[in-house]
Amino acid sequence: YSSGGTLPHNTAGGIRHLHKTFNENERDLYNDWWQEQIFQFGTEVDFYTSNYSLTGHDSLYGEEPTREYADPIKMVMALELNESAIVLNQFGLVGDDEITGYIAIDTFYSQLSTDTVSDPEPKSGDVFKLTEYGSLDRIGGRDGKIFEITDRVEQDVSRINPLIGHYIWLIKAKRYDYSFEPGLSAEGASDQVYDDSRSGLLSGYTQPESVGKKYTDDVQLQSKEVFDYDDYFESNDDVYGGYN
């Protein structure tokens, strides 16, 4: 070893267990162990890759308006799901789901590598759906929750790097707020209440036009059942009162 190189032995002459030339077999065992744990105790998800492009980024709006999602790829992830996590932000207390996922690096390569990208990585903006957890036995038309990745690392020595090896991706994600982006659909039974009968996608694009919603209930009709001002000409329902 040249001066300044990595020394194979410690000062007492013993072999250094973290020397990567000597612990390659042990790191291979850890790599196999991680993959086995994920496949045994993980759950199947649909993974949607975002095609976000910096060249298409709109600096004024802070987004890429033509971003789309690729067709989903099925893979197995080990998950730590914290449902209805209470978070305090500038808008007050918010109950939002948080999730931490573990994906084997080799698995991610084998599932998502292409001729142009041989070593893909999960990135912020990618989305995954808990298809297996939310399938078959959920009631009321509900299905798997959808999460958007906010952070991903392959190095956290206290959690995922025994023998200072790199085996898995540790990702963190937040519940996805559906915004009609191409390639994704809203979670099942997540109908929103709109102030108008029109909301969603307009006609003339690659995605089908959203179906309008009409609500027959009306607050004015409901209030008339309590007291109908029109039946009493002397009544005054002006919010500012009346003047004599």
Give the whole-angstrom CA distance, residue 171 versus residue 152: 4
- Which pLDDT does position 4 carry in this prediction? 47
Q: Which of 17-21, 80-84, 209-213 has the lowest mean pLDDT?
A: 209-213
Higher-pLDDT residue of 190, 125? 125
DSSP-derived pairing of the beta strands 73-89 and 146-153: unpaired
- Which pLDDT does position 241 carry in this prediction? 63
Q: Return the H-helix or E-strand segment holding 105.
A: helix 105-112
8 touches 19 (CB < 8 A): yes
Structure pTM?
0.78
Higher-pLDDT residue of 220, 44? 44
The answer, yes or no, to whether residue 172 has pLDDT greater than 60, is yes
Higher-pLDDT residue of 7, 190? 190
- Which pLDDT does position 2 carry in this prediction? 39
DSSP letter assigned to residue 241 = -
pLDDT digits (tens, 9 = 90+) for 28-81: 999 999 999 999 999 999 999 999 888 888 888 888 878 889 999 999 999 999
| Size (the chain), residues | 244
pLDDT digits (tens, 9 = 90+) for 103-147: 999 999 999 998 888 899 999 999 999 999 998 788 888 999 999
Q: Averaged over 176-190, what is the pLDDT?
A: 86
**DSSP states along 109-160:** HHHH--SS-SS----TT-EEE-TTTTSSS-STT----EEEEEEEES--TTTT
